[in-house]
Chain A
Amino acid sequence: MRTIVHLDMNSYFASAEQQANPYLRGKPVGIVKAEGRGCIIAASAEAKKYGIQTGTTVWESTRLCSSILLVPANMEKYFSLTQRLIRIAEDYSPIVEVFSIDEMFLDVSEVLPQYGGGAWEIALRLKEDIRENLGEWMRCSVGISFNKISAKLASEMQKPDGLTFLTTNDYLEKTESVAVEKVCGIGRSRTQWLLSRGIFSLGQARKFRLPAELESLVWLQGTDELVTGWKLPSAKSVSRTYTAFKDIWRGEEVKKLVRNLVEEAAGKLREMKMAGRTISLALSSVTGGSFWARKTGKDPINDPSTIFTLLWKEYEGRPLLPVRFAGVGVSNLGFNFQLPIFKQKQELLKAADEVNQRFGGFTLYPARLLGGELIRPEVTGFFGDKWYQLKIR
């Protein structure tokens, strides 16, 4: 039986800003992507008491709490803290799975004998080390159990600064009254399915015969095997999306937006040394109109101008205006490919990539994007195709 520890930083982005600026502590803080952007991407514990959470619009958050303080996000700061968190975790176990920017699993089964207090001692020391290294305001909830799903649920059960142990003897009893949506893997649609049948808690769910995948989730059956850096699967797709502040009515602006997203997606592919055979474009407007196109070619590509030309041709056949949302995707990915582009173009892309890697994304960009606001790459809480940036062992 393995012993798995799940570590979940509490209100991570907001806590980081409160740690950096002590005068924000104890106050309702909402982190926004940039000044003027419409949604809260992280809320402090104090702001959450007003019902403010990730996804709440700025307008709504000021309605819920007139004293909320809005702070622009600094993803590099949070990313840097996560890299230090990983090093702290690795002091306790060589088997660490980075689940997201603020969560990780540790398999401490092999190191337990080194700690007289067992997993409890490891958890308490971890919390102490985090406070000492990252700052006294940086708190985490820790869950300890025999598999990942139970350990993650355990950390959910007490926030902030929690420490919860679910053993094989007591995990069913202790999780009876836990809301179904708290289980990792029971998302919106599965929650709706359960709620529509009057099932709100795990205890209630366990009284029913459920579809197989739901059954294993409510009984907290899952793997105890962690996915460490070198075992992480390659990305299956790369996509970039953008929601504009207001409707885009001009075709030229839509063209720039799509070209921007393609540039970012293709750049990411080349950074991962991958290319894809399937490309897709999705557009939608608030009035309900939508556009979607997908093309699969014989050869993999990662050249942005080719991807853009193919997708734009599809759009010109069925143009949609206005546009509020755009998404570009490349899938059917692979390594070790022979690209169907001229050597000269390949060298040009390589040189541009080197400049952008050294001086920052979009230092060099296509002329078509001149004269407008650039949509730049950013780290978010979900690593997706960015996990390799952590340089995990």
Chain B
Amino acid sequence: MTFGLYLVLMKMMRTNEVAVVEAGFGKKGVWPLSFVWEGRRHEVKRVTMRWEERNGGKKYACFAVDTGGMVAELMLDRENLEWRLGTCEPSCI
């Protein structure tokens, strides 16, 4: 039973790959509008959380996003404006 539950946990994929992201800029700062993953464009229905992280000496603005079918974490390197896809998991659990 525990192994089965760990399988549910493991569905979350950690990618940390460079991502192509369409972003908006305004009074609230920057926010992702859509991103491309595995050849498909995913529209961001809502940004559910924002926070900051440090990784390898860099500071990232992080966004948890809901596309309707998937929940993903997008990270923006503020210095060189590079986006990365941190994790993604299907919305059905």
Contacts and interface: CB of A to CB of B under 8 A. Distances in A.
Interface stretch (B18-26, B29-37, B54-62, B76-84): B54-62
Interface string B7-25: 0111000000000000000
B48 A135 contact: yes
Contacts of A23: 71, 91-93
Nearest to B52: A80
A35 B9 contact: yes
A95 interface: no
Contacts of B62: 77, 80
Given A23-B92, A360-B55, A70 B48 contact: no
A388 to B, nearest CB: 16
A358 interface: yes
A367 to B, nearest CB: 21
B93 A69 contact: yes
Contacts of A77: 49, 51, 53, 62
Given A22-B71, A76-B53, A80-B51, A58 B2 contact: yes
B6 A70 contact: yes
Q: How large is the interface on B (under 10, 10 to 19, 20 to 34, 35 or more residues)?
A: 20 to 34
Interface residues of A, number: 29
A11 to B, nearest CB: 15
Interface in A9-29: 16, 19-24, 27
B5 to A, nearest CB: 6
Interface in A115-170: 134-135
A321 interface: no
Contacts of A35: 6, 9-10
Contact of B48 (A19, A36, A62, A360): A19
A68 to B, nearest CB: 7
Contacts of B52: 76, 80
A50 to B, nearest CB: 14
Interface string B33-48: 0000000000000001
B65 to A, nearest CB: 9
A20 B2 contact: no
Contact of A360 (B57, B73, B92): B57
Contacts, number: 69
Contacts of A135: 48-49
A71 interface: yes
A70 B49 contact: no
A21 to B, nearest CB: 5
A68 B9 CA distance: 10
A20 B64 contact: yes
Nearest to B89: A21
A81 B9 contact: no
A307 B32 CA distance: 48
B21 to A, nearest CB: 17
A66 B5 CA distance: 8
Contact of A70 (B9, B56, B57, B73): B9
Given A23-B91, A66-B1, A359-B57, A81 B51 contact: yes
Interface in A30-71: 35-36, 58-59, 62, 66, 68-71
Given A77-B49, A360-B54, 13 more contacts: A19-B49, A20-B49, A21-B66, A22-B71, A24-B93, A35-B6, A35-B9, A36-B6, A66-B1, A69-B5, A69-B93, A360-B55, A360-B57
Interface of A: 16, 19-24, 27, 35-36, 58-59, 62, 66, 68-72, 76-77, 80-81, 84, 134-135, 358-360
23 contacts: A20-B48, A21-B48, A21-B64, A21-B66, A22-B48, A22-B66, A22-B71, A23-B91, A27-B93, A35-B9, A58-B2, A59-B2, A68-B5, A69-B93, A70-B6, A70-B8, A76-B51, A77-B49, A77-B53, A80-B51, A80-B53, A80-B62, A81-B51
